[in-house]
């Protein structure tokens, strides 16, 4: 048995479904091949359930201010962690349900099974050959678990299992303090779980600016213990639980370990090595063009988390759009990617937008900064902690990037991305309104701090002339 199609898409997550939508506009000769879960990582085990957990944790942690505010009875409040997890799953199931409506649209174009490359334009699925003019790989990723930890059984979990827990543990070690580890570690701590967070690196939440990193470590440390620049050894404790020992001589025993060490692309069983004469030891990272999604010069496109380029939902969707458009065209078109934006939904939020501090090393930049300990609106909200650094090009005055840990920083991130994408100068932004009392005024201050360091023609008054 064999069939011929214009496009075969392997994977039915955000990237695959988005690609399908674009391909379907141009041809009905398309199939989607998917083996396991349909729908996205985001709705099932990623952004959505974690955001619900974070919202509950954030709401519960507000009780520390109730007595001050004049709200009596906060000492009576307790957290029912079984009920929290039920609530998280109830909302999660609704989000997944909505994604599945998108999956249903695949209809009879859907093939359930594992795909394996036989030739660059031939796949084998369930013993059947599929000849495809173009192929899109969108098989996603899965959490990394070091092999030596597998013997810990269900005491070792990843974000794939976390939201399935009926009952949260009383104590947990979170290994890896990137975005996911920082978010989940803080949320669990606020729900009364004793948390220790451990990372090999000296940085948390994907921050590269040392000043913001220090503030972020301080922020996270209010809720849980943070051990950095150290490697964790795990073993079963004789008294039960898992013993965590670091190479710096610290140790603790916890009920459970959450491995949040990043994610690994799902391409192990696609048979790529045999068909394509490429070195896949670093995944697709340097093999795929991020502006076309094309794999080398092959009629193959690689979209979404599997390419390890920008494993964030809106980027996975763009990957799918680009792959989908290019899979149905004779010549491959290059698209400009969006300004980078990464958000950790910790409290305060960690945001990296545009060029990071690390990427700007050696460039002639001006930095404007603002601390949020004494900022009007954060005082009003009883959320006064954080720090913002904004980077601008000294010659042009153009905004380049920013790193921050700031309350509601997600919005500052979007605002700065809009400015950076449109090549705006500090002055272009300073002439827009900053309302009082808002957290945006803190950004205004940071931009004014840049303007104060500018010279020559850029040093113009904050208000524009009227023409």
Binding to its own copies, residues 57-96 (CB under 8 A): 59-60, 62, 65-66, 68-74, 76-87, 91, 94-95
C-alpha 354/C-alpha 413 separation (Å) is 9
Stretch 123-142 residues interacting with its own copies (CB under 8 A): none
Does position 338 interact with its own copies (CB under 8 A)? The reply is: yes
# of chain residues touching its own copies (CB under 8 A): 88
Stretch 435-454 residues interacting with its own copies (CB under 8 A): 435-438, 440
The one-character DSSP state at 346 is S
> Shortest approach of its own copies to residue 152 CB, angstroms?
27
Helices (H), 171-209: 179-190
Does position 19 interact with its own copies (CB under 8 A)? The reply is: no
Does position 377 interact with its own copies (CB under 8 A)? The reply is: yes
Q: Which stretch binds its own copies (CB under 8 A): 111-119, 199-207, 392-400, 423-431?
A: 423-431
Does position 415 interact with its own copies (CB under 8 A)? The reply is: yes
Q: Mask 38-57, x = binds its own copies (CB under 8 A)?
A: ----x----xx--xx--xx-
> Shortest approach of its own copies to residue 105 CB, angstroms?
18
Q: Which stretch binds its own copies (CB under 8 A): 100-108, 203-211, 223-231, 308-316?
A: 308-316
Q: Which stretch binds its own copies (CB under 8 A): 128-136, 148-156, 313-321, 358-366?
A: 313-321
C-alpha 232/C-alpha 147 separation (Å) is 14
C-alpha 79/C-alpha 271 separation (Å) is 48
Does position 323 interact with its own copies (CB under 8 A)? The reply is: no
Stretch 269-298 residues interacting with its own copies (CB under 8 A): 291
Closest to 346 in 3D by CA, of 184, 212, 203: 184
Q: Which stretch binds its own copies (CB under 8 A): 140-148, 149-157, 217-225, 432-440?
A: 432-440
Edge-to-edge strand ranges of the sheet holding 171-175: 156-157, 256-259, 171-175, 194-198, 225-227
Q: Which stretch binds its own copies (CB under 8 A): 211-219, 243-251, 294-302, 377-385?
A: 377-385
Name which position in 105, 112, 379, 459 contacts its own copies (CB under 8 A).
Answer: 379
Asked whether the beta carbons of 155 and 258 are under 8 A apart, the reply is no
Q: Which stretch binds its own copies (CB under 8 A): 123-131, 180-188, 272-280, 411-419?
A: 411-419
Does position 26 interact with its own copies (CB under 8 A)? The reply is: no
**SS3 at position 5:** strand
Does position 381 interact with its own copies (CB under 8 A)? The reply is: yes
Does position 339 interact with its own copies (CB under 8 A)? The reply is: yes
Closest to 19 in 3D by CA, of 238, 64, 251, 10: 10
C-alpha 204/C-alpha 213 separation (Å) is 7
φ, ψ for residue 425, nearest 5 deg: -85, 170
> Shortest approach of its own copies to residue 353 CB, angstroms?
8
Q: Which stretch binds its own copies (CB under 8 A): 107-115, 117-125, 293-301, 409-417?
A: 409-417
Does position 343 interact with its own copies (CB under 8 A)? The reply is: yes
φ, ψ for residue 213, nearest 5 deg: -60, -40
Asked whether the beta carbons of 256 and 242 are under 8 A apart, the reply is yes
> Shortest approach of its own copies to residue 84 CB, angstroms?
4
Per the structure block, which two tokens stand in for 231?
């490697």
Per the structure block, which two tokens stand in for 431?
């002439």
Nearer to its own copies, 150 or 466 (CB): 466
| End-to-end Cα separation, the chain, in angstroms | 73
Q: Which stretch binds its own copies (CB under 8 A): 108-116, 226-234, 238-246, 455-463?
A: 455-463
Per the structure block, which two tokens stand in for 181?
């580890």
> Shortest approach of its own copies to residue 435 CB, angstroms?
5
Does position 24 interact with its own copies (CB under 8 A)? The reply is: no
C-alpha 399/C-alpha 450 separation (Å) is 10
Q: How many CB atoms lie within 10 A of CB 448?
A: 15
Closest to 112 in 3D by CA, of 37, 4, 18: 37
Asked whether the beta carbons of 391 and 367 are under 8 A apart, the reply is yes
φ, ψ for residue 220, nearest 5 deg: -65, -35
> Shortest approach of its own copies to residue 53 CB, angstroms?
10
Closest to 305 in 3D by CA, of 144, 159, 142: 142
Nearer to its own copies, 182 or 252 (CB): 182
């Amino acid at each position: 048995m064999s069939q011929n199609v214009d496009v075969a898409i392997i994977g039915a997550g955000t990237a695959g479904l988005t690609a399908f939508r674009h391909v379907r506009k141009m041809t009905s000769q398309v199939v989607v091949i998917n083996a396991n879960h349909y729908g996205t990582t985001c709705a099932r085990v990623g952004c959505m359930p974690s955001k619900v957990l974070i919202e509950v944790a954030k709401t519960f942690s507000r009780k520390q201010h109730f007595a001050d505010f004049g709200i009596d009875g906060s000492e009576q409040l307790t957290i029912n962690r079984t009920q929290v997890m039920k609530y998280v799953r109830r909302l999660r199931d609704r989000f997944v349900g909505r994604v599945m409506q998108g999956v249903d649209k695949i209809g009879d174009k859907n093939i359930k099974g594992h795909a394996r490359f036989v030739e660059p334009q031939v796949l084998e699925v369930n013993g059947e050959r599929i000849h495809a003019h173009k192929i899109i790989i969108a098989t996603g990723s899965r959490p990394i678990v070091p092999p030596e930890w597998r013997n810990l059984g269900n005491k070792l979990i990843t974000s794939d299992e976390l939201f399935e827990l009926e009952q949260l543990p009383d104590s947990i070690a979170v290994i890896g303090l990137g975005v996911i580890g920082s978010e989940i570690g803080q949320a669990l701590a606020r729900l009364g779980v004793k948390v220790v967070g451990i990372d090999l690196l000296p940085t948390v939440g994907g921050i590269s600016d040392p000043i913001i990193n220090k503030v972020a470590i301080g922020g996270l440390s209010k809720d849980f213990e943070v051990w950095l620049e150290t490697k964790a050894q795990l073993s079963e404790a004789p008294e039960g639980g898992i013993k965590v020992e670091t190479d710096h001589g610290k140790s603790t025993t916890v009920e459970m370990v959450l491995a949040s060490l990043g994610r690994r692309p799902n391409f192990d069983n696609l048979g790529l090595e045999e068909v394509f004469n490429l070195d896949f030891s670093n995944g697709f990272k340097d093999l795929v063009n991020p502006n076309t999604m094309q794999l080398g010069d092959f009629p193959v496109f690689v979209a979404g988390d599997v390419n390890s380029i920008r494993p964030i939902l809106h980027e996975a969707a763009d990957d799918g759009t680009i792959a989908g458009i290019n899979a149905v065209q004779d010549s491959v078109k290059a698209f400009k990617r969006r300004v980078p934006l990464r958000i950790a939904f910790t409290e305060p939020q960690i945001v990296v937008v545009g060029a990071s501090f690390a990427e700007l090393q050696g460039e002639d930049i001006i930095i404007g900064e603002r601390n949020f300990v004494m900022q009007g609106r954060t005082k009003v909200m009883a959320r006064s902690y954080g720090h913002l650094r904004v980077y601008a090009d000294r010659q042009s005055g153009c905004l380049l990037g920013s790193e921050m840990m700031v309350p509601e920083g997600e919005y500052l991130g979007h605002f700065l991305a809009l400015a950076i994408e449109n090549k705006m100068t500090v002055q272009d932004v300073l002439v827009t309104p900053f309302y009082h009392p808002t957290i945006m005024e803190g950004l205004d201050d940071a931009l004014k701090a840049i303007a104060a360091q500018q010279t020559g023609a850029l040093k113009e008054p904050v208000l524009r002339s009227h023409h």
